[in-house]
Amino acid sequence: MKNTIFRPEVHRRIAYAWVLGVIALLIALMVVLPNSHLNSSVMALLPKEHIENVPPALEEGFNQRLDRQLVWLISPPQPDDQAPVLWWQQQLKQMAAFSNTSGQMSADHQQQWGKFFFDNRYALLDSATQQRLAGDASAQSDWILSQIYSPFSGISAKELNNDPLLTMRSAQITQQQNNRTLQLNNGWLTSKDPQGRTWYLLHGELNTSSYDIQSARQTVKKLDQLKQLVAQKWPGTQVLQRGTLFYSDYASQQAQQDMSTIGSVSGLGIIILILLVFRSLKPLWLTLLSLTIGAISGSVAVFILFGEVHVMTLVMSTSVVGISIDYALHYLTERMVHGEDESALVSMKKLFPALLLAVISSSIAYLLLFIAPFPGLQQLAIFAAAGLTGAFLTVICWYPWLSRRLPVRKTLRLGFIHRWLFYWQNGKAFRIGIPLIALLISVAGFIQLKTDDDIRKLQTLPPEFQQQDRQIAALTGQHSDQKWLMVYGESPEQTLQRLESLESALNTAKQSGWLNGYRFLPFPSEQQQQKNIALIKQQAPEIIHRLQQAGINTTLPSFEQPTVKPQNWLNSVASEGWQLLWLSLDNGQSAVLVPVEGVTNPVALKQMANSHSGTHWVDKHTEFSTLFSVYRQHLTTLLGISVLIIGVLFLWRFGIKQGLRCIIPTILSLGVALSVLSLSGQSLNLFSLLALILVLGIGIDYTLFFSNPAGTPSTSMLSILLAALTTELSFGLLAASGTQAISGFGLVLSGGIFAAFILSPLALPERTTPEKIS
């Protein structure tokens, strides 16, 4: 096959076929691009592991909804001066980015609230009244009397007439007992900090996803302006904010910054390198051509498979550039040195086995990333494999034709390369000394190596974000650590009944100290509502009788009340602050969240959830960290097995002596890569392991080029030098990324590739008779 495809007439046909292929790719790109989008959510990088049995639509519905929520706490310089808060609320209302904003409740609003509770007071009986009614009638009548006689209760004749059983009063007291930190203050929800400042709560819901980069940027910009304005108008006003919007905007800003700096620096470096070596513009256009086609192939593959590309994938993809450029450089170097001795097709024929092995080994290394169920990495794997193949095909098919008039630089001064190879081939000091040093570095690094799978370490948010988040958690009692129980059912009624059956377990959990508190949707199921009405109806005559005996002038009220439908409750002001926790689909499937805080025993809570039907314990951070740890271990095993297989293959193919010479640089490059990571103070995580796999896949190319019997060592060395330089220019710069996951990835890769480059000449056979340095 190898011989036939390099016959000129066959090769020409193949080249034309690739032209058609590229045209097809371009058309495909134009078709898929308008329907694709850029994703910047850190969460989107994580596996979309659906909770068992929970309808995915419910889960996604909640995730999407939570992503859109924004909360502000505004503290005016004077506690009672609402002007800046009102101003802020007005500004939010004017912004098109929000579909819904809330802040001050009007007096009318509060009245509606009271009316709703009054109209449904028997159906929505509070837990304290339920408990009193559970015994005999005296419990409730005694309690009513205590309220009437207490000098502190302020009961009026009007209240007694309207609600002789005082169910409204009890509901209010119960509600106040449940409200921990926020209180209603002139229609505002407010909270006081230990320094005595009053904070006003405002809330907004975005129209579009927080991850829509452009609209997110505009909204954040506008909000920043508002913050400045409010501080100018009312000096001393403080604003705290929370929302996925801010995190995702920060992440995408940083990724874009990374992409533009890393991309431009590495691009510029590569251009200078090519111009320096080839002294011609042609190789520049050629490499650019193969890179572009590679990028198109990669994008088409990713868009077709995923429909979107993640910002992080894009950043990491710049590194693929550094590898795909290698194929072009290998061929162009060959042509530059041997352009006068051999035909373009002969050069290609000579390099083909090494190039093919290189593209296969790198693609396999990247595709191994696909095993980990992380969408961002899977995208990278596909992008790289398709991109490398595209670039490879371009080099193989077109370069022999396009590189025809490439200037030959026989006079290229390769003295240092010859000297370097000479020492490797002849000096025991090099052949033993350098690997020994690498071994020492590896051991030193290995001793200090720590692992850390905490997902939060992957992206360090700026301290002011964390500070604000802590402050908001303290002021509102609402934490952002995304720990909750999710209860779902096939209908709203089933969901609510399941929720009710969980309440006593939650109470026990709180008493056992497994958690500090929870927010429980204050809306009973239809079944419970009917029970409530029946209960009070049954007890009421006796209660009224006892009150009359005690001298209270009262009569039996009517209990004709319909039950409240979930939708009516949701549409009423009574569900204010609770709507976010409830989700109902068109088909009736519904779910409710029970956020918990101060969790000390997640295992027990998980068990508790498992023992209730339709109930799940959700703790995203821990889940993901566990997942990271599991896949890090999987990949470690995978890496070990790969090294073992490669080692056995080399030993079988090349014999023990040469086989060892080929495998030792590879193993040592992995060791040095790890050591660079640990010596720079970072710890081992999933991302560093992915980088190690790439070090294996790319580093092995270098030894393969030296083992290629058809290659000239000095030409191989030159092209490997160029390849390593371009790889370092792209990967090495990733180490400078502001996102920790990426910088750790870059660090391991650049360290490993550097070591692989330095050690690769070991694969050259040792010369028994010293040769003169040319």
Partner 1 sequence: MKHFFWLFASFITSAFLLLSQTASAVTLDDLQQRFSHQPVLRAQFEQQRTISGMSQPLKSNGNVLIAKAHGLIWNQTKPFPLILMMNETRMEQRMAGQPPQVITADNNPQMFRFNSILTALFHADRKALEQNFNLQFSYLGKGNWQLILQPTTTPLDKLFRQITLNGSEFLNEIQINDMQDDSTHIRFFDQTTTPTALTPDEKHHFSS
Residues that bind partner 1 (CB under 8 A): 128, 131-132, 135, 138-139, 142-143, 145-146, 148-161, 169, 172-173, 176-180, 183-185, 192, 550-553
- Cα(387)–Cα(404) distance, rounded to whole angstroms? 25
Q: Where are the alpha helices (DSSP H) in 68-212?
A: 83-94, 107-119, 127-134, 138-149, 157-162, 167-178
Closest distance between partner 1 and the C-beta of residue 157, in Å? Answer: 4
**Residue 408 CB coordination number (10 Å):** 14
Closest distance between partner 1 and the C-beta of residue 71, in Å? Answer: 20
Helix (H, G, I), strand (E, B) or coil at 241: strand
**Residue 111 CB coordination number (10 Å):** 11
- Cα(406)–Cα(266) distance, rounded to whole angstroms? 24
In contact, 586 and 61? CB cutoff 8 Å: no
Closest distance between partner 1 and the C-beta of residue 128, in Å? Answer: 8
Helix (H, G, I), strand (E, B) or coil at 618: strand
654 HSE (CA, 13 A, CB side): 23
- Cα(612)–Cα(626) distance, rounded to whole angstroms? 24
Nearer to partner 1, 79 or 427 (CB): 79
Closest distance between partner 1 and the C-beta of residue 151, in Å? Answer: 6
Closest CA to 351 of 367, 338, 363, 366: 338
Q: Which amino acid is at 643?
A: V
Closest distance between partner 1 and the C-beta of residue 143, in Å? Answer: 6
Nearer to partner 1, 185 or 426 (CB): 185
Nearer to partner 1, 189 or 402 (CB): 189
Nearer to partner 1, 170 or 750 (CB): 170
Structure tokens given for 112: 């509606």
Question: Quick one: CA dihedral 334, 339, 340, 346, positive or negative?
Answer: positive
Cα separation values, 714 from 344, 478, 648, 686, 761, Å = 19, 66, 28, 37, 10
Structure tokens given for 67: 């992503």
Structure tokens given for 461: 């948010």
Nearer to partner 1, 107 or 447 (CB): 107
Cα separation values, 169 from 120, 451, 578, Å = 13, 56, 21
Closest distance between partner 1 and the C-beta of residue 499, in Å? Answer: 22
Nearer to partner 1, 159 or 342 (CB): 159
In contact, 669 and 756? CB cutoff 8 Å: yes
Nearer to partner 1, 142 or 597 (CB): 142
Structure tokens given for 204: 């907004």
Nearer to partner 1, 188 or 631 (CB): 188
- Cα(406)–Cα(398) distance, rounded to whole angstroms? 14
Closest distance between partner 1 and the C-beta of residue 72, in Å? Answer: 21
Closest distance between partner 1 and the C-beta of residue 83, in Å? Answer: 19
Count the helix, strand and coil residues of the chain and give each as a percent rounded to the nearest 5: 65, 10, 25
Closest CA to 301 of 202, 367, 217: 367
Nearer to partner 1, 551 or 681 (CB): 551
- Cα(387)–Cα(380) distance, rounded to whole angstroms? 10
Closest distance between partner 1 and the C-beta of residue 534, in Å? Answer: 22
Closest distance between partner 1 and the C-beta of residue 79, in Å? Answer: 11
Start-to-end CA span in the chain (Å): 37
Nearer to partner 1, 138 or 683 (CB): 138
Nearer to partner 1, 138 or 491 (CB): 138
Nearer to partner 1, 110 or 214 (CB): 110
Closest distance between partner 1 and the C-beta of residue 507, in Å? Answer: 13
Residues 6+ apart with CB under 8 A from 569: 523, 575
Burial letters for 472-501: b for 16+ Cβ neighbours within 10 Å, e otherwise? Answer: bbebbbbbbbbbbbbbbbeebbbbbbbbbe
Closest distance between partner 1 and the C-beta of residue 546, in Å? Answer: 11
